[in-house]
């Protein structure tokens, strides 16, 4: 008989194992950074050459290693961080498996120079390994800490090397790891060089915003909202999040760490987006730097080869904490009207409950009759000045300030007219303000309906002529989902045979017509109107059903695009819009108004350079 099963030789086993933790230069960077952080380094320097495929060097001023430790550090399952499985539940370090150095050294050339902190011996240790074999082990003079240099990555595993992407791609993956580490550990100083050029430099920071400025750029960092440092249930949440309109098309701007460990978790990303609710446009992602501290016994870090995924025993509590932390701040007036620099002062959350400040007055000068005063809370709607001074890209309004200038109350607001019977153009001081009439009216109606719903409680107005609605299969299914929410809102209806209902009453806060149109639309899943999402289950999934119904009603009865408006109507609309709690976005998160500052116009026309 032929034996087909063999025990693999050591070097093959090591190469296979290496594949689990080390799949690209970025994973080497990640493991080395984690080791430096675990060594309680105060400062870390990273050098990348040739996208990390050429060379990766990570240098720290951490605890270093004795000669004995340096020798065994590269063996598999050699770790100073864990001695038994029980320790795993309380593990405070990023590493614990003792595999990274073994794996990395199996598939590359490694040089390590290390000296134990506070050691009495005069020198340190230099060790060179070539594809897992120690080639040099000697004493050297060196500072305390550890420097590890990795080159010839995957040179002995051609199959894996083939899978490497371009130098550029690998480089940006490496830099992504570095930036996330920097954002998750602001207390540690970092320097990062790419092909000898300094890319990031940041001393240890006490303020996360300073670190964000170093990594994301000062302008972006200034505009982030700070979460108040507090716990939601047993989960502490800290961090910085972007204003809803500073969103991105991917989730790449989201860095979430759990106790300083950068993690990937789709559910957390979803919870973040739920926190923004209707204020985040569909399909967009916020910019987030967030650290979560759940009770340590609720955390399992040993579920992923690269330790990027973690498991929470109480995941719901963690997700709810994330969602609440975000929505508390996003739905505060602070977020609707960011202060200069976009910062939120400490204790901002405490003020959320307070009534809004009295509105400022803006004078409307109209060319027609019926001049009116615009009471608005505009003064707070200010944005970083420097943002205004830039020529925006022509891609979209995201780069334009959606708000109004800090001294808006000093500027007269004059309606110029209607564009394409869809947009209202206004002169605000010397800026151009463009208002989407449908989005604006939808917002106005949403707030009106909500107010009526809240104050009027739920009362039903019975119809003199009950309305019959025939149901197809979709409607029957939808009725199953929405039936009770509709009833709670004050809709009164009953089954009428197997496939129809009869509507006998409508919520008092809705108009008579729109009420039964809304119920029909909701049940049939019909797209209500261009520019609005269809009321299918994915329709504003973040909103509770009742709010969805109110939002749909708001949209249903709102002035459409391509609808002529009189000057008076435009004035009324803008006045009520500016009185809204959240005037800048419609229920779907689309902007209601966009301002084109004069400074940008002047640049576009090359009046100033
Ligand atoms: N930069 C460093 N400074 C001090 N000690 C280090 C450093 N890198 C690695 N070590 C030591 O080498 C051991 C093995 O590292 P590694 O293979 O990454 O396993 P792990 O991090 O899971 O313990 C670590 O437990 C630690 O004692
Ligand atoms: Mg490690």
55 CA to centre of ligand 1 in angstroms: 20
31 CA to centre of ligand 1 in angstroms: 9
Of all protein residues, the one whose alpha carbon is nearest to atom 11 of ligand 1 is 73
Chain segment 472-518, per-residue pLDDT in tens: 887 888 788 778 888 888 889 998 888 889 989 888 777 666 777 77
Of all protein residues, the one whose alpha carbon is nearest to atom 9 of ligand 1 is 35
Domain range 10-202, CATH class:
alpha beta
Q: Which atom of ligand 1 is nearest to the CA of 79?
A: 25
**CB contact at 8 A, 105 and 72:** no
Q: What sections of 242-354 are H helices per DSSP?
A: 266-276, 315-330, 333-336
Classify each residue of 538-562 as buried b or exposed e, where b means 16 or more C-beta atoms within 10 Å of its C-beta. Answer: ebbebbebbbbbbbbbbbbbbbebe
258 CA to centre of ligand 2 in angstroms: 17
Element (H, E) at 20: helix 10-21
Residue ranges covered by each domain of the chain = 10-202, 208-334, 436-594
**CB contact at 8 A, 432 and 401:** no
Cβ atoms within 10 Å of 498's Cβ, excluding its own = 7
74 CA to centre of ligand 2 in angstroms: 11
598: tokens are: 């004069």
Q: What are phi and psi of 226, to 5 degrees?
A: -95, 130
β strands within 279-436, DSSP E = 288-293, 299-300, 311-312, 360-363, 373-376, 413-419, 423-428, 431-436
Among 31, 33, 35, name the best residue to mutate to test ligand 1's pocket (greatest count of ligand atoms within 8 A of Cβ): 35
373 CA to centre of ligand 1 in angstroms: 69
Residues near 284 by Cβ (< 8 Å), separated by ≥ 6? 247, 248, 249, 589
What residues are in contact with ligand 1 under a 6 Å CB criterion?
31, 35-36, 38-39, 60, 62-65, 73, 78-81, 95-102, 146
Q: Which residues of the chain have pLDDT under 70?
A: 1-2, 13-21, 85-90, 332-411, 456-458, 511-513, 525-544
Angstrom distances, CA of residue 61 to CA of 113, 121, 256, 258, 481: 12, 17, 26, 24, 59
Domain 436-594 grouped into CATH 3.30.1370.100: yes
35 CA to centre of ligand 1 in angstroms: 5
Identify the pLDDT of residue 93: 82
Of all protein residues, the one whose alpha carbon is nearest to atom 27 of ligand 1 is 80
280: tokens are: 């985040």
540 CA to centre of ligand 2 in angstroms: 42
430 CA to centre of ligand 2 in angstroms: 59
Question: Which one of the ligands is nearest to 77 CA?
Answer: 1
Q: Indicate the Cα dihedral angle 481, 482, 485, 490, nearest 10°.
A: -150
Question: Which one of the ligands is nearest to 63 CA?
Answer: 1
Give the separation between CA 50 and CA 192, rounded to whole angstroms.
14
104: tokens are: 């990395």
Of all protein residues, the one whose alpha carbon is nearest to atom 1 of ligand 1 is 36
Q: Which atom of ligand 1 is nearest to the CA of 103?
A: 17
Give the separation between CA 177 and CA 27, rounded to whole angstroms.
8
Among 58, 79, 301, 302, name the best residue to mutate to test ligand 1's pocket (greatest count of ligand atoms within 8 A of Cβ): 79
Give the separation between CA 139 and CA 193, rounded to whole angstroms.
28
Q: In whole angstroms, what separates CA 433 from the centre of its chain?
A: 28
The DSSP output letter for 492 is E
98 CA to centre of ligand 2 in angstroms: 6
Chain segment 50-89, per-residue pLDDT in tens: 999 999 999 999 999 999 999 999 987 778 877 776 666 6
Among 37, 57, 61, 101, name the best residue to mutate to test ligand 1's pocket (greatest count of ligand atoms within 8 A of Cβ): 101
79 CA to centre of ligand 1 in angstroms: 6
119 CA to centre of ligand 2 in angstroms: 22
Element (H, E) at 576: helix 567-578
Q: Indicate the Cα dihedral angle 257, 258, 262, 267, nearest 10°.
A: -80
The DSSP output letter for 426 is E
120 CA to centre of ligand 2 in angstroms: 26
Q: Which atom of ligand 1 is nearest to the CA of 82?
A: 23
Among 17, 38, 77, name the best residue to mutate to test ligand 1's pocket (greatest count of ligand atoms within 8 A of Cβ): 38
Cβ atoms within 10 Å of 471's Cβ, excluding its own = 20
Give the separation between CA 507 and CA 26, rounded to whole angstroms.
57
Paired residues of 256 in beta bridges: 263, 290
- Measured over the CA atoms of residue 206, residue 178, residue 283 and residue 439, the dihedral's sign is positive
- Give residue for tokens 């605890």: 63
Question: Which one of the ligands is nearest to 34 CA?
Answer: 2
Identify the pLDDT of residue 15: 67
Question: Which one of the ligands is nearest to 39 CA?
Answer: 1
Of all protein residues, the one whose alpha carbon is nearest to atom 12 of ligand 1 is 73
Of all protein residues, the one whose alpha carbon is nearest to atom 18 of ligand 1 is 100
Q: Which atom of ligand 1 is nearest to the CA of 63?
A: 4
Nearest residue to 304 via CA among 83, 95, 11: 95
Domain 208-334 grouped into CATH 3.30.230.10: yes
């Amino acid at each position: 008989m032929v034996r087909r099963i063999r025990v693999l030789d050591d070097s093959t086993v090591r190469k296979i194992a290496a594949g689990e933790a080390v799949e690209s230069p970025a994973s080497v960077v990640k493991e080395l950074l984690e080791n430096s952080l675990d060594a309680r380094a105060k400062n870390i320097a990273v050098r990348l050459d040739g996208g990390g495929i050429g060379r990766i060097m990570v240098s720290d001023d951490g605890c270093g290693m004795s000669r004995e430790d340096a020798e065994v550090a590269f063996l598999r399952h050699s770790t100073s961080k864990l001695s038994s499985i029980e320790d795993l539940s309380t593990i405070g370090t990023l590493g614990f498996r003792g595999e990274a150095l073994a794996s990395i050294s199996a598939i590359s050339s490694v040089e390590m120079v290390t000296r134990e902190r506070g050691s009495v011996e005069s020198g340190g240790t230099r060790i060179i390994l070539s594809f897992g074999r120690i080639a040099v082990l000697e004493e050297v003079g060196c500072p305390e800490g550890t420097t590890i240099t990795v080159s010839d990555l995957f040179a002995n595993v051609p199959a894996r090397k083939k899978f490497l992407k371009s130098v550029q791609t690998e480089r940006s993956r490496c830099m992504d790891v570095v930036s996330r580490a920097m954002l998750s550990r602001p207390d540690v100083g970092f320097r990062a060089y790419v092909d000898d050029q300094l890319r990031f430099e940041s001393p240890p920071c006490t303020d996360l915003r300073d670190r964000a400025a170093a990594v994301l750029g000062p302008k972006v960092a200034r505009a982030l909202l700070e979460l108040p440092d507090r716990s939601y249930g047993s989960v502490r949440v800290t961090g910085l999040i972007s204003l809803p309109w500073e969103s991105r098309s991917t989730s790449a701007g989201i860095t979430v760490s759990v106790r300083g460990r950068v993690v990937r978790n789709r559910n957390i990303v979803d919870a973040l987006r739920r926190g923004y609710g209707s204020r985040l446009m569909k399909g967009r992602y916020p910019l987030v730097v967030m650290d979560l501290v759940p009770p340590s016994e609720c955390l399992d870090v040993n579920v992923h080869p690269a330790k990027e995924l973690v498991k929470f025993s109480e995941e719901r509590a963690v997700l709810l904490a994330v969602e609440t932390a975000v929505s508390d701040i996003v739905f505060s007036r602070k977020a609707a009207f960011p202060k200069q620099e976009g910062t939120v002062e400490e204790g901002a959350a405490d003020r959320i409950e307070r009534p809004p400040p009295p509105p400022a007055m803006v004078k409307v000068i109209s060319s027609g009759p019926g001049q009116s005063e615009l009471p608005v809370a505009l003064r707070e709607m200010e944005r970083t000045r420097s943002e205004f001074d830039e020529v925006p890209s022509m891609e979209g309004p995201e780069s334009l300030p959606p708000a109004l200038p800090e001294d808006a109350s000093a500027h007269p607001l004059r309606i110029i007219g209607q564009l394409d019977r869809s947009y209202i153009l206004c002169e605000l001081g010397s800026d151009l303000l463009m208002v989407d009439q449908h989005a604006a009216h939808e917002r106005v109606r949403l707030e009106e309906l909500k107010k009526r719903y809240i104050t009027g409680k739920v009362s039903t107005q019975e119809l003199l002529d009950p309305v019959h609605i025939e149901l197809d299969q979709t409607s029957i299914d939808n009725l199953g989902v929405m039936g009770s929410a509709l009833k709670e809102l004050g809709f009164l209806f009953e089954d009428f045979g197997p496939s129809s209902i009869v509507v006998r009453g409508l919520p008092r806060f809705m108009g008579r017509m729109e009420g039964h149109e809304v119920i029909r639309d909701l049940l049939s899943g019909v797209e209500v109107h261009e520019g609005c999402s269809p009321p299918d289950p994915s329709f504003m999934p973040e909103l509770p059903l009742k709010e969805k119904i109110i939002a749909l009603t708001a949209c249903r009865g709102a002035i459409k695009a391509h609808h002529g408006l009189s000057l008076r109507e435009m004035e009324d609309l803008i006045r009520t819009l500016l009185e809204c709690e959240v005037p800048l976005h419609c229920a779907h998160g689309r902007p209601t108004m966009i301002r084109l500052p004069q400074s940008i116009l002047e640049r576009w026309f090359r009046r100033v350079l």
